[in-house]
């Protein structure tokens, strides 16, 4: 491992975009305005499932100020979109499958006129039976949402013989878990401006996590060359996976081309709730057995995921959940069956954790229940079954050597011994603690297109330009790029020009997803570093007459290697010595397992979590009073950013565990705004949020730091649930945990058992 990595976290760094964000000076894409710009609005379905008998837009077109109304008839290319398969209609023609389906879109002089025009569009429907339960959707008599049925995708894994395994077990736990539909709840809802260009193309100023993929999808819809579409996709006011898929882009593009002027569409929160994707609700059945020595023997898992009306990344999310269903444990007999099911509910898709949060809640809950049955300390049970450095991955595939699972287990065990708050404040409040561990694969996995790369340039204005096809969605990728490049080349932040989020300016380096950003930037810089340095020092040698081997890149310019002497500034080097720009680029695939395991990962991060709660027996309210996380993800690149990701992920998972659920009934959202959908606020966040980084990698590891954008959210739920059990004796199997459930448990157990801690 490059010794420079040891220096990364020692520098106090201010985010490159920090000042403009906290002062409100930064213009997000939804803040943009252009001359002659029109306002766009989208008409969504009135029914979760219905046939469309007719669509009449005549009255809307007559309204003064309306410049265009478009429907399915106006889509010149493929009337569909989707990251894996284009099965979601841009505009529905003969059937709607959820309340977010688009029927028509309007461009008008003002927002008020556009909204009025939507009211004038007449759509005649014939209601169809609603399929709103994924389990019932699998029944033979269930209405079919598609000719091929209601199954989007099946995935599974099997090793050994679970029936034989269970026959030898000393203890078996069987439970069914339910996890909710969670909103991303980003501050900036989906939106932006689409500008028509003179060449017949468009420039799309809309937040996304994969500019080139948006370009590809829009080219199919508009039937124009990809090269005619420019995607400007950064900065973004939050995403967490929710802006990875197309949302308003097709409608703005069609309206801009129809009117010949820029069109702005910005979803209201209600529109965002209805049309945006959510975390997959899942029903997870697990049966897990151990022998008398506390060794896991057999593990049977059945996953039913509600993917909603359309595919987006539903298949990949199910694959990820299946891969992580055994977590960081070695189990000889395993059967995992997963199915992703179409319903008339809102579309489920990519969300921080990507199926790992759901499956980890179930798995770690099983481990804790088994420990209770065997009267074994939960840490010790995990220790007896933990994977070790050279063990195969969770689906029997080869992965990068790592002992991260053991590292985080032992570290969080020490944290529990040192940091648990003893005692209860009064007889009506009980405190408890719980731990959990988890692992999380980075990158898209085996068999998935996962391009990586980057470009380094020395420009005519004397800047070291580094370009990636990434987006800044609040995760801090700009700070990561700055930290890596300045440390690797010894230059200063002012010597850099970072270019991201614009397909006209950046190379194709894959998506801003899957905890891949930090790894990809580091690997790309390593591949470009030597060539770029040699060309820079060679150029300086020509300009100064000094031997290149005696020169080194540094802050402000080229320095004499043996003494603190600035030989030539970058500005002077560009002006005096450069005939043409220096450009070095690299292109490679993100590291993946060499084994043919669909979606199998190669680089993993690990986390251990300690949660402490206080349960109010009179109200049933659960308050998290401590949340510590230990993360093994290789060297820390940016300490503040690292902590921010883990703390932020932990708070998001707190909401997932205790309060968030985008409830649907009969295919309609009951929570259409943040006044009824609760997310954690500052009073819900524990004062004690400790983050510990384990930076050690296996000897000879050449893959550098792993991304931590997701790992901080993955294992929090089971740790909180175990802490609730520690305080109350009640096991929770459904999230979010409700006060009603806690109060019912209090009533069932009786007052005497509850007050025994204070006796």
Mean pLDDT of the region 266-295: 98
Q: What are phi and psi of 120, to 5 degrees?
A: -90, -5
Question: Cα–Cα distance between 141 and 519 in angstroms, integer?
Answer: 48
**Integer Cα distance of 662 and 237 in angstroms:** 21
In percent, the amount of the chain with pLDDT more than 70 equals 97
Residue 751 pLDDT: 47
Q: Tell me, what's the pLDDT at 13?
A: 80
Between strands 202-206 and 229-232, the pairing is: parallel
Residue 423 in this model has a pLDDT that exceeds 90: no
Q: How far apart are CA 282 and CA 338, in angstroms?
A: 10
The whole-angstrom separation of Cα 582 and Cα 584 is: 7
pLDDT for residue 579: 84
Cβ atoms of residues 107 and 67 within 8 Å: yes
Q: What is the structure's pLDDT at 12?
A: 64
Residue 454: in which H helix or E strand, if any? strand 451-458
Q: pLDDT tens across 288-301, in order?
A: 999 999 999 999 99
Span 69-80, average pLDDT:
98
pLDDT confidence of 759, banded at 50, 70, 90? very low
Half-sphere exposure of 577 (CA within 13 A, CB side): 23
Distance between CA atoms of residues 314 and 355, nearest Å: 9
pLDDT at site 563: 84
The answer to whether 637 touches 522, Cβ cutoff 8 Å, is yes
Q: Residue 290 CA to chain centroid, in angstroms?
A: 33
Give pLDDT tens digits for 453-496: 999 999 999 999 999 999 999 999 999 999 999 999 999 999 99
CA torsion sign for 535, 540, 546, 549 is negative
With a cut of 70, say whether residue 387 has pLDDT above it.
yes
Q: Confidence class of residue 9 from pLDDT cuts 50, 70 and 90?
A: low
User: What are 707-721's pLDDT values in tens digits?
Assistant: 999 999 999 999 999
DSSP sequence for 254-317: HHHHHHSS-EEEE--HHHHHHHS-BPPPEEEEEEEEE-TTS-EEEEEEEEEEEEETS-TTHHHH
- Average pLDDT over the chain, rounded to an integer: 95
Q: What is the pLDDT of residue 1?
A: 47
In DSSP terms, 496 is beta-bridged to 464
Note the pLDDT tens digit of each residue in 27-70.
999 999 999 999 999 999 999 999 999 999 999 999 999 999 99
Task: Kindly report, residue by residue over 637-679, the tens digit of the pLDDT.
Answer: 999 999 999 999 999 999 999 999 999 999 999 999 999 999 9
- Rounded distance, CA 486 to CA 278, Å? 38
- Assign residue 750 a region: left if phi > 0, alpha if psi is -120 to 50, beta otherwise? left
Cα–Cα dist 1/10, whole Å = 17
516-564 confidence digits (pLDDT tens):
999 999 999 999 999 999 999 999 999 999 999 999 999 999 999 988 8
Query: Mean of the pLDDT values across residues 8-27?
Result: 84
pLDDT tens sequence across 599-637: 999 999 999 999 999 999 999 999 999 999 999 999 999
* For range 320-346, the mean pLDDT: 98
Mean pLDDT over residues 156-183, rounded?
A: 98
Pair 170, 652: CB distance under 8 Å: no
pLDDT at 6 over 80: no
| Confidence (pTM) | 0.96
357 three-state secondary structure: helix
**Stretch 349-377: mean pLDDT:** 98
Would you put residue 98 in left (φ > 0), alpha (ψ -120 to 50) or beta? Answer: beta
Which pLDDT band holds residue 688 (cuts at 50, 70, 90)? confident
Closest to 317 measured CA to CA, from 155, 150, 131 = 155
Residue 568 · residue 540 · CB < 8 Å:
yes
pLDDT for residue 140: 96
Q: Which residues is 108 bridged to in the sheet?
A: 39, 66
Q: Taking residues 353-362, report their average pLDDT.
A: 98
**What is the spatial distance between Cα 616 and Cα 612, in angstroms, rounded to a whole number?**
14
Assess contact for 714 and 440: CB atoms under 8 A.
Answer: yes
pLDDT digits (tens, 9 = 90+) for 634-648: 999 999 999 999 999
pLDDT band at 10 (very low <50, low <70, confident <90, very high): low
> What is the average per-residue pLDDT within 185-204?
97
pLDDT at site 8? 62
Instruction: Flag whether pLDDT at 285 surpasses 60.
Output: yes
Work out the angle at residue 24's Cα, subtended by the Cα atoms of residues 195 and 248, and round it to the nearest 5 degrees.
Answer: 30
Pair type for strands 464-467 and 551-554: unpaired
Query: What percent of the chain lies above the pLDDT cut of 90?
Result: 94
Alpha carbon 396 to its chain centroid, in Å, reads 25
Cβ atoms within 10 Å of 604's Cβ, excluding its own: 25
Comparing CA positions, the residue from 589, 469, 480, 485 lying closest to residue 532 is: 485
């Amino acid at each position: 491992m490059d010794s420079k990595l040891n220096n990364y976290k020692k520098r106090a760094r201010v985010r490159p975009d920090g000042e403009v964000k906290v002062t409100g000076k930064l213009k997000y894409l939804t803040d943009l305005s252009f001359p002659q710009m029109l306002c766009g609005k989208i008409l969504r379905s009135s029914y979760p499932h219905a046939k469309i008998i007719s669509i009449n837009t005549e009255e809307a077109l007559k309204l003064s100020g309306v410049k265009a109304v478009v429907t399915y008839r106006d889509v010149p290319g493929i009337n569909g979109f989707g990251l894996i398969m284009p099965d979601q209609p841009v505009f529905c023609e003969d059937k709607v499958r959820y309340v977010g389906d688009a029927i028509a879109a309007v461009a008008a002089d003002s927002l008020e006129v556009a909204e009025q025009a939507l009211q004038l569009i007449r759509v005649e429907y014939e209601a169809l039976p609603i399929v709103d339960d994924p389990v019932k959707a699998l029944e033979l008599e269930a209405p079919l949402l598609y000719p091929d049925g209601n199954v989007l995708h099946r995935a599974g894994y099997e090793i050994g013989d679970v029936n034989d395994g269970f026959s030898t077990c000393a203890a078996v736990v069987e439970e069914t878990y339910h996890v909710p539909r969670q909103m991303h709840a980003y501050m900036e809802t989906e939106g932006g401006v689409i500008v028509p260009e003179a060449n017949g193309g468009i420039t799309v100023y809309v937040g996304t996590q994969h500019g080139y993929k948006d370009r590809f999808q829009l080219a199919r819809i508009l039937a124009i060359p990809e090269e005619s579409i420019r995607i400007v996709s950064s900065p973004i006011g939050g995403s967490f996976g929710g802006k990875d898929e197309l949302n308003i882009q097709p409608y703005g593009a069609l309206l801009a081309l129809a009117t010949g002027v820029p069109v702005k569409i910005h979803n209201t929160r209600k529109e965002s709730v209805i049309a945006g994707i959510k975390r997959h609700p899942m029903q997870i059945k697990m049966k897990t057995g151990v022998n008398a020595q506390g060794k896991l023997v057999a593990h049977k898992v059945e996953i039913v995921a509600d993917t909603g009306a359309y595919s987006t990344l539903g298949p990949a999310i199910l694959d990820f959940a299946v891969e992580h269903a055994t977590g960081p444990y070695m189990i000889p007999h395993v059967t995992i069956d997963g199915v992703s099911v179409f319903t008339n509910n809102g579309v489920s898709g990519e969300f921080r954790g990507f199926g790992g949060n759901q499956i980890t809640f179930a798995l770690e809950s099983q481990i804790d229940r088994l420990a209770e049955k065997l009267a074994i300390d939960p840490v010790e049970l995990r220790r007896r079954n933990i994977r070790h450095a050279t063990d195969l991955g969770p689906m029997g595939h080869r992965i990068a050597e790592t002992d991260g699972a053991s590292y985080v287990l032992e570290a969080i065990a020490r944290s529990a011994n040192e940091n648990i708050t003893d005692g209860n404040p009064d007889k009506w409040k009980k405190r408890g603690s719980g731990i959990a561990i988890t692992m999380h694969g980075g990158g898209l996995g085996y068999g998935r297109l996962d391009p990586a790369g980057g470009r380094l340039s020395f420009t005519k204005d004397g800047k070291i330009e580094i370009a990636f096809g990434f987006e800044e969605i609040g995760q801090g990728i700009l700070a990561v790029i700055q930290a890596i490049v300045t440390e690797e080349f010894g230059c200063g932040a002012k010597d850099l020009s970072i270019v991201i989020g614009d397909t006209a300016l950046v190379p194709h380096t894959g998506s801003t997803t899957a905890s891949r950003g930090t790894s990809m930037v580091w690997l790309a810089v390593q591949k470009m570093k030597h060539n770029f340095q040699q060309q820079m020092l060679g150029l300086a040698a020509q300009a100064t007459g000094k031997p290149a081997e005696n020169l080194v890149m540094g802050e402000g310019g080229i320095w004499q290697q043996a003494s603190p002497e600035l030989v030539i500034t970058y500005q002077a080097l560009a002006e005096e010595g450069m005939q043409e720009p220096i450009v070095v680029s690299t292109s490679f695939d993100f590291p993946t397992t060499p084994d043919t395991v669909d979606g199998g990962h190669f680089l993993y991060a690990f986390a251990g979590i300690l949660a402490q709660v206080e349960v109010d027996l009179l109200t049933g309210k659960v308050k998290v009073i401590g949340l510590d996380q230990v993360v093994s993800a290789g060297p820390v690149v940016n300490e503040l950013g690292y902590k921010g990701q883990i703390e932020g992920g932990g708070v998001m998972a707190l909401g997932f565990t205790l309060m968030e659920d985008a409830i649907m009934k009969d295919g309609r959202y009951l929570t259409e705004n943040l006044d009824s959908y609760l997310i954690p606020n500052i009073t819900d966040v524990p004062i004690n949020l400790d983050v510990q980084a384990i930076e050690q990698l296996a000897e000879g590891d050449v893959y550098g730091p792993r991304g931590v954008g997701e790992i901080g959210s993955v294992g929090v739920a089971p740790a909180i649930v175990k802490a609730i059990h520690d305080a109350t004796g009640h096991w929770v199997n459904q999230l979010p945990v409700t006060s009603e459930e806690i109060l019912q448990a209090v009533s069932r157990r009786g007052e005497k058992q509850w007050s025994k801690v204070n006796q």
